[in-house]
Amino acid sequence: MAGEAKRLPVYREAANEIIDRIKGGELVPGGPAPSARQLMESTGMSSATAARVLGVLRDEGWIDTVPGRGSFVRTPNQLTQGADRLGMLRSGGTGLSDGERVEILEGRTEAASQEVADALGIEAGERVAVRRRRYIDAAGVSAVSSTWISGALAEHLPEFTLAEPLPKMTFGLLEDRTGRRASRRRDAVSVRPVPDDVAALLDVQTGRDVLVVTNRYCDQNGEPTEYAVDYHAPGRELVSEYDLD
């Protein structure tokens, strides 16, 4: 029938049900995951389909299988980018993943470095506001994130430099206060050594190479609004998934 939603394959539906049980806390990290035999007995699916269910869960990072011991729910290690948080916020969420929390470490003004100045379209040395946060999930510290906005924009967001949660994320406040909506972003992914002021917050040694993601946001007129640098903890995965239809 025209317009009827296409049903997912049996193995995908079964995998999604297990993922929902993990997200809901019924299945906990380190605890046993359903085995192929259990899936076959509870659903009547074939051994090949059950194996495919477990393959999906392993591929997407939800379980680990230990030979001779079985499958276990995996401690989450997928990182969340700042750009992902914008989508969460606009869909009515808080900008945080399930089980994730944020520590506001500091807010202050400083002279813009060349990197920050280039990203914000200002001169090096101009005053900018910076806000630093630490994200923590079930696996521990996942990222240390710093966000910069120009001094001109900071005048509209006085709470930006306070070490306390914002009523909305920076994206939302900028749009509410100035009408400048984040409409375009540029992401860059690199490997950098952790600087001393970030290492202790990330619980790693200074100089260790980690994944770093920078996000530059521009408004509907193409003018830059904010720049963020996220240092991610070792062992995390950067995952992007898109619909191609």
Domain boundaries, the chain: 10-73, 82-232
83 pLDDT above the threshold of 70: no
What's the mean pLDDT in 197-204?
92
Of 111-115, 171-175, 222-226, the one with minimum mean pLDDT is 171-175
Choosing among 3.40.440.10, 3.40.50.970, 3.10.20.600, 3.40.1410.10, the CATH entry for 82-232 is: 3.40.1410.10
The identity of residue 18, as a single letter, is I
Burial of 179 (0-12, 13-18, 19+ CB in 10 A): exposed
32 pLDDT above the threshold of 60: yes
Alpha-carbon distance of 147 to 106, in angstroms, equals 11
Judged by DSSP in three states, 70 sits in strand
Strand partners, 134: 103, 144
Q: Provide the 8-state DSSP code for 32.
A: B
Alpha-carbon distance of 94 to 85, in angstroms, equals 8
Strand partners, 104: 133
Q: Provide the 8-state DSSP code for 8.
A: P
What's the mean pLDDT in 134-141?
85
243 pLDDT above the threshold of 60: yes
CA 67 to chain centre: 31
What's the mean pLDDT in 1-7?
56
Please check whether the domain covering 10-73 is classified as CATH 1.10.357.10: no
Write down the pTM of the prediction.
0.68
Query: Strand 63-66 relative to strand 70-73: parallel, antiparallel, unpaired?
Result: antiparallel
5 pLDDT above the threshold of 90: no
Contact 157, 149 (CB under 8 A): yes
The predicted pLDDT at position 210 comes to: 94
Q: What are all long-range contacts of 107-116, with beta carbons under 8 Å and residues at least 24 apart?
A: 107/131, 107/132, 107/160, 107/161, 107/162, 107/163, 108/161, 109/151, 109/154, 109/161, 112/148, 116/148, 116/227
Burial of 141 (0-12, 13-18, 19+ CB in 10 A): middle
Query: Strand 140-150 relative to strand 127-137: parallel, antiparallel, unpaired?
Result: antiparallel
Of 21-30, 95-104, 124-133, the one with minimum mean pLDDT is 95-104
Q: Provide the 8-state DSSP code for 113.
A: P
What's the mean pLDDT in 129-152?
91
The predicted pLDDT at position 1 comes to: 45
pLDDT-based confidence at residue 84 (cuts at 50, 70, 90): low
Helix (H) or strand (E) holding 85: helix 82-90
The identity of residue 122, as a single letter, is I
Alpha-carbon distance of 186 to 222, in angstroms, equals 12
The predicted pLDDT at position 157 comes to: 93
The closest alpha carbon to 169, from 80, 90, 78, 233, belongs to: 90
Q: Mean pLDDT for the chain?
A: 85
